[in-house]
Chains A and B, each alone.
Chain A
């Protein structure tokens, strides 16, 4: 595939994708500092 992980950054967008694609969400809460 190449490239990088295609992160979503909006929770609602991830939920919509999860519903449409029948997948679960991998949520990474990271240290922004």
Chain B
């Protein structure tokens, strides 16, 4: 990460402007111990109360890291009921980082956030259909698969 990803200009500008970057040694007590770090690098999105909302371990190239941070920020917004902010993050992943490994979860979470903000289940079905069409073998497609039954339930 120090050799490739963090020196990248887009990564540097994104992190400096969109989040609060915090770096601590994995063996630092008590902070790192509170997060049960088992492997490094471990990067997380943490809210203002210290609650973790997203974690990845291992190396990530620049595009993957930005998409991963956006996903974590989006998930934190979703968990706090800030659905419009969450949807903006997921949209940015889908449109700007379509080849990243975060895009499938972003599609899934788009359905979840839209459902939670409206109580309308159709966005869940739409998310599944998009996943099935574009990423039929992905784990998030499988996780969304019960939503294919929504039309039967709604009849």
Contacts and interface: CB of A to CB of B under 8 A. Distances in A.
A1 B9 CA distance: 9
Contacts, number: 113
Interface residues of B, number: 39
Contacts of B17: 1
B24 interface: yes
Interface residues of A, number: 25
A24 B19 contact: yes
Contacts of A9: 22-24
Interface of B: 1, 6-7, 11-13, 15-27, 31-32, 35, 37, 40-50, 53, 69, 72-73, 76
30 contacts: A4-B6, A4-B12, A8-B20, A14-B20, A15-B48, A24-B45, A24-B53, A24-B72, A24-B73, A24-B76, A25-B45, A25-B46, A25-B48, A26-B19, A26-B20, A26-B22, A26-B45, A27-B24, A27-B35, A27-B43, A27-B45, A28-B24, A28-B41, A29-B24, A29-B25, A29-B35, A29-B41, A30-B26, A31-B26, A32-B25
